Structure formats: C-alpha cells, structure tokens
Amino acid sequence: MYQHLKIQEHGNIAIMTISAPKSLNALNSTILGEIDEYLDEFEAANFRCLIITGDGEKSFVAGADISEMASLGAQQGETFGKKGATVFRRIETLPCPVIAAVNGFALGGGCELAMACDIRICSDNARFGQPEVGLGIIPGFSGTVRLARLVGMGIAKQLIFSGKNIKADEALRIGLVNAVYPQAELLDHAIDIANQIANNAPLAVRAAKLCINTCYDMPAEEAIAFENRAFGLCFNTSDQKEGMKAFLTKGKYEFKGE
C-alpha cells in the first residue's frame, strides 16, 4: 500500500518503519505524504501507541532529501518546510503516545522527526544533529523550536549554529534521548515501553499527554486549572470505575478505553 513505509501491528501497538534505503531514509514530499496518510489510518484504528523507526541498521532518517531541495526558491522552500512541519506537528499532537526508536543517523529532518515524538530511545550507533547551516539553510521542520525546549537554549544554539553531530551517549547526557541500547535490542525495548503504556487506561494516558503538551507553556495557575479539569473528567470513565474497584478488591481489570 505504501511505497516507503512498512507497517506492523502488535495488538494495541503499531510500528511505522520509514524505508528508503538508497537515501538512508531521507524525507521527501512523497514520504511525508505517506506518513500523513498513514496517520489517518492509525488514528481510525484506535491504537494505544505508535513506534516510529527507520529501515536498516545505519539510519533512522538521514535528513530531508537534498536532491529535492537543491533547486527550490524561497516560496517553494517555505512550502516544503510547512509540509514537514505540519506532519511533525500532527505526530506531536496525536492523542496517544509516540515512541521514536532511533536506529542510526537522525540528522536534520530525522532529528526533527525524533523530537516530534513523545519518547526517544536510540541505538548505540545513533548520531544526532542539525547540520542545515552547512548547506545554507536552517532547520525547517521545527528544529529551532523543539531542540531548545528539549535540551535548553544554550546547547540548542551551539548544535544548530555549529552543525555538529553528536553520538548517542552525548544525546543521552543532554536529555535528547531517554535511553541508549545495543542496535539488536532497540526495537524490543521500544515494544516493551509501548506495551507498558498500552496496558494502562488509554483515556487516562491520552489525558496525561494532552496536559503535558498543553500546560508546558502556560502560566502555573492556568496549567494547574487545566490539569484539574482533565483529572475530573477521568472520573466519568468506566475504566476509572472498574480500575479502582479492581484495585480495592485485589482483582484484575483490562482497560477498554471507555
């Protein structure tokens, strides 16, 4: 169905693998369009977690496709940037959590894709960077926005201004990734994390994600009030009623998302 995506399903979890081996999974307009199309399918299926990874052992996503960008003018460049930024924002705001399993190069658009995910883990051979200034451009898929929020303004400026790539251990040190694993174990660990998430009450997980994303930039009083409302709405769900009943009676309850 998709030319550059491989889709797997594991119960309540979906794995989307970006596959363009000749370009080390670099993102072009076609691949961005396919990701956007799959997100429609993913949301309609009501999965509880999405894992995004890259095909092969060398690259998650090596960047945006330079061969497509090389001849663009200002307006076309802005349009291309908006396309990537819109797809990544959609990933960031999916109701359920998204895990990036970064299995190699995550440069430029690849780093930006990883940053749009909720949780980032990587293999020990992973490399991260925003090398765009070495090509006469800046990060165009929201990299200047997300990197500073994730690692702090000073480190983000150094990485973006220098175009320097960093290894997995450095990405872990600065908080860009949550954990580093051997290449062969990466996807298994991603699935384990996804299962931990999927076994919890899905409406509560979604409410928690919405609160974290929405409240991050809010003044404290507004953020606390937003969380209070979301907390209260959880008590309208069957999962809350049955989950607490099971806890009190030492029984078991499988959350249904109701």
Model confidence pLDDT, tens digit, residues 216-237: 999 999 999 999 999 999 999 9
Classify domain 5-198 by CATH architecture. Alpha-Beta Complex (3.90)
Quick one: which of 38, 125, 132, 141 has its CA closest to 81?
141
Please report the pLDDT score of residue 1 as a whole number.
84
Strand-by-strand arrangement of the 127-129 sheet: 59-61, 105-107, 127-129, 165-167
Whole-angstrom distance, CA of residue 78 vs CA of residue 20: 24
What is the number of H-type helices and E-type strands within the chain? 11, 10
The set of catalytic residues is: 112, 132
Domain 202-248: which CATH number of 1.10.12.10, 1.10.10.60, 1.10.3720.10, 3.40.50.410: 1.10.12.10
Q: What is the pLDDT along the chain (258 residues), one digit of tens a residue?
A: 899 999 999 999 999 999 999 999 999 999 999 999 999 999 999 999 999 999 999 999 999 999 999 999 999 999 999 999 999 999 999 999 999 999 999 999 999 999 999 999 999 999 999 999 999 999 999 999 999 999 999 999 999 999 999 999 999 999 999 999 999 999 999 999 999 999 999 999 999 999 999 999 999 999 999 999 999 999 999 999 999 999 999 999 999 999
* Cβ neighbourhood burial of 46 (10 Å; 0-12, 13-18, 19+): exposed
